[in-house]
Amino acid sequence: MNKFYFLILILIGCSAEKEKSEYERLLDYEGAYEYVNESTLDIVASELDTTLYAVIDKAKYPLNHIALDSFTNIQDIPVVFKRDKSNKVIGYETGGQSFELITTDIEKMEMFPRKELFYNPDNYTYQKPHKTSDGLETGLIEEEFKNPEPIIKMVKETIKGEFPDVHSILIYKNNKLILEEYFYGYDKNIPHQLRSATKPFIGGILGIAVDKGFIRSEKEKLLPYFKNKYDKIANLDDRKNELTIENFLMYRHGMDCENNNPESKGNEQSMMQSNDWVKHTLDLPMVTKPGEKSSYCTGCPLTLGSLVEIATNEQIENFAKENLFEPMGITNYNWTFEPNQASINTFSQMSITPRDLIKLAKLFKDGGKWNGKQILSKEWVDKTLDMNKGDYGYLWEHKYFLIDGQQYNSYLASGNGGQKINIWPELDMITVFTGGNYNSYELYGKSTPPNEMIPSYILKSAK
């Protein structure tokens, strides 16, 4: 072969290699890998934002590219991929541990909000939600909002990627489901992670246990229920002995427990490293008298869930199925409570469909009734929603927005990633958002999209 011609081929090959896009280079790392506790994770490249993601239990976490095969995870811990002699990726190292590539044959999650409309969002056309057998009536948005255009614009902005990783938006107004939109491959049949939005529903399940007489009253002392489960509770003093069930329902526990405070002994990360999350919570030292002030603590609802199991002598998942989910026709969900290391990746959370979230929120909005049947006592619902401005009720939160001098009040169930279930009593409305912006607030100091979408679009339409 002519030396000159051979040189041209080499140059062409080098040029082709240089033209390999950043997204194509990220494809080298895709696959299913070993992970902690004998579990697995997927590594997936996104064409949308040219980012590599670690996907754990359908939740994706970005890996920030540093150099060559080196990345950092959301906690800024290095993740370095390993290659074999043929230059193929075979695993990764992080935190002093090595994990092997299992297979490159994975089912990639959808990275575009709606790929078919992403470059032409104005082609979106509003459609009335389909009526199904789930008991929800449906209606037209233009019949319930005088000015629905801000909401239509919000959906188009979501399709464009302006509100990343919003997985669903549902609006239920005047007893009709009038908006139901899904993104990133989700649909009405896919249960979604709730994260901490599970907690308010634990409050409702506890209320059913009280209604049925398994627990006499939420005013009862808390610790006596656990005397047979735990031989000894640490840091006992007069204040801890006075703890009531209601103190935990309102996060007015008085313990050294504040979720996002790294100095707090009961912060969520410390709790999750312990073998028994309920025991860890009950062992915390007291810092104030119970009932004086509220402090958001994940250990409270987990302890109350365990209380339901002790009082009913039944797993809370089974008790909820018999007394809440089945009476409401809710069957498409997943829940393993287990507040210990077995739930280190699932956080003891429910996964449930957004339409069923509307139904559960409607239960509270309608005084504990579903289709005319009293599932939860009105007395318990009234106590739940009797909360001070910006404070907590029975594991629900009072959330309000001020817009042009007008206050819009809601009762909120909220979870990491953008799970937002709001009941708007003055507007006769329920809004549901699900999303995948996990840890965005805690790690990046930014708010999840629904916190902007609700006041800027939905409440603007309601106005």
pLDDT digits (tens, 9 = 90+) for 293-342: 999 999 999 999 999 999 999 999 999 999 999 999 999 999 999 999 99
* Position 125 pLDDT exceeds 70: yes
Pairing outcome for strands 78-83 and 70-72: antiparallel
Task: For 139-151, give one letter per residue: b (16+ CB within 10 A) or e.
Answer: bebeebbeebebb
Asked if residue 312 belongs to a domain, the reply is yes
Q: Tokens for 172, please give them.
A: 């239920």
| Mean per-residue pLDDT of the chain | 94
Both 226 and 97 in one domain: the answer is: no
What amino acid is encoded at 392 in this protein?
Y
Domain CATH number, residue 335: 3.40.710.10
- Residue 339 inside a domain? The answer is yes
Strand partners, 392: 397
Domain assignment of residue 7, yes or no:
no
In tens, the pLDDT along 361-413 reads: 999 999 999 999 999 999 999 999 999 999 999 999 999 999 999 999 999 99
* 361 and 252 within one domain: yes
Domain assignment of residue 326, given as a range: 192-462
Give domain status of residue 118, yes or no: no
- Residue 440: the pLDDT is 66
Q: Please state, in angstroms and rounded to a whole number, the distance separating the CA atoms of residues 227 and 339.
A: 18
Same domain membership, residue 95 and residue 209:
no
- What is the DSSP pairing of strand 89-94 with strand 40-46? unpaired
Greater pLDDT, 14 or 195: 195
> Is residue 143 domain-resident?
no
> CA-to-CA distance for 195 and 167, rounded, in angstroms?
14
Q: CATH number, domain at 32?
A: 2.40.128.50
242 & 367 share domain: yes
Number of domains the chain contains: 2
**Residue matched to tokens 């594991």:** 395
Band of the pLDDT at 463, cuts 50, 70, 90? confident
In a domain, 8, yes or no: no
Does a structural domain hold residue 6? no
The pLDDT confidence band at residue 127, using thresholds 50, 70 and 90, is: very high
What is the pLDDT averaged over residues 63-79? Answer: 95
Which residues face 458 on adjacent strands? none
Identify the domain boundary among 52, 80, 103. Answer: 103
Q: Tens digit of pLDDT for each residue in 215-235?
A: 999 999 999 999 999 999 999
Query: Residue 318: how many CB atoms within 10 A of its CB?
Result: 11
Kind and range of the H or E run holding 173:
strand 166-173
Both 74 and 205 in one domain: the answer is no
Q: What's the confidence (pLDDT) of residue 195? A: 97
Q: Say which amino acid occupies 216.
A: R
Q: Which of the 8 DSSP states describes residue 360?
A: H
Domain boundary among 103, 119, 154: 103
In this predicted structure, the answer to whether residue 284 has a pLDDT above a threshold of 70 is yes
| pLDDT class of 20 with cuts at 50, 70, 90 | confident
Whether the Cβ atoms of residue 434 and residue 167 lie closer than 8 Å to each other: yes
Asked if the structure places residue 9 within a domain, the reply is: no
* Helices of type H across 353-457: 354-365, 378-384, 440-444, 450-453
- How much is the pTM? 0.93
Separation in Å, CA 462 to CA 49, 139, 168, 315, 317: 33, 16, 20, 42, 37
Q: Which of the four pLDDT bands, split at 50, 70 and 90, describes residue 8?
A: very low
From 48, 69, 103, the end of a domain falls on 103
Residues 6+ apart with CB under 8 A from 188: 132, 180, 182, 353, 354, 355
